[in-house]
Amino acid sequence: MDLLHSWGVELVVHLQTKYSSYEGLFSLASMVADLHTTFFWFFPIWFHLRRDTGLRLIWVAVIGDWLNLVLKWVLFGERPYWWVHDTLFYGAGPTPALRQFPITCETGPGSPSGHAMGAAGVWYVMVTATLATATEKQCPPLLYKFLQAGLWSLMGLILVVVCMSRIYVAAHFPHQVIAGVITGVLVAVVVSKQRSIYSASMKRYSYITLFLTSFAVGFYVLLKFLGVDLLWTMAKAQRWCVTPEWVHLNTTPFASLLRNMGTLFGLGLGLHSPLNTTTKKTHSFRVGCVLVSLFLLQLLDGWTFSSENLVSFYFLCFGKNTVALSIPTTLVPWALSGIFSGKKEDKNL
């Protein structure tokens, strides 16, 4: 693996040397590829414009990121920014100088890339949903072919930029981002075929959330009992990150796990809340729900909390994402329905 890693480091150096002018684009690509963008931006839009696609987005993102966590624990992937300092591959010679950035010092194992995996799954869902809408609208065959070629090309271009961004910031090796893209698409294909995700009961949401959480924690405890430290990467991140403030607890495996479980549980709560309204939703009502939801989610996103107490930190990670999914699925539609109903009653008086 050292030889493969050394080739990856050479590519990191090449990108940082030749493409430094694209640093802003790479940073933006990494930010958009983070599942946080899916939960706080993509989901509210798709949920109110095409409900089934919104549900599929969350299921693909959550299942994919959970699988990514398990695979990272199994594969023990290195990251370039610490590997160049730990390896004996370069012997007594100088090690390559890799630049680091605020988004470089992730604390979990590196393989497969979570950003590449998440972006591949999420964009697969959005592209297939757009093509399905075009089919339903009886798009002319020639125009459909152009649309199909354009969307898949756009997705390919986006994934290339995301992969380059993760390599550029020295967070991943090339084989890790390639593995992430392939695995992400496979997860999206498999999950999209499960019709039960569109009609899952609250009990089912609860059981799946509990199962996924218990499996991950149980797997961690089992390997810990066998003498395998699954948090070995935290020490490497703290040791080799050039700026200690760039090592964030919210990039740890358990923080990611609880964010995703909170998201899935919040989706179930929102869909099965007694506040859900059954009134017919007009186009303007849907647009209003999207805009208000996005506004409130950005306010919620600004809420940060201390990581000094791990128990409270992880609990708040779960709770924050539970609330985040409840806002667009039930709270905003309920509130706007009440406001519009009140105005109609006033006009009738």
Which residues define the annotated binding site for substrate? 79, 166
**5 φ/ψ angles, rounded to the nearest 5 degrees:** -65, -40
The amino acid at residue 210 is L
14 is catalytic: no
C-alpha to C-alpha distance for 228 and 232, rounded to whole angstroms = 9
How many CA atoms lie within 13 Å of 280's alpha carbon, on the beta-carbon side? 1
Residue at token pair 């802003």: 24
5 is catalytic: no
C-alpha to C-alpha distance for 66 and 29, rounded to whole angstroms = 22
Specify the 3-state DSSP secondary structure of 89.
Answer: coil
C-alpha to C-alpha distance for 270 and 77, rounded to whole angstroms = 36
Record the tokens describing residue 76, joined without a space: 């023990």
> Out of 5, 14, 48, 172, which one is annotated catalytic?
172
Q: Which residues are annotated as a binding site?
A: 79, 166
> Out of 14, 36, 48, 115, which one is annotated catalytic?
115
C-alpha to C-alpha distance for 267 and 325, rounded to whole angstroms = 5
Q: Both ends of the chain: CA-CA distance in Å?
A: 77
Question: What positions carry a catalytic annotation?
Answer: 115, 172
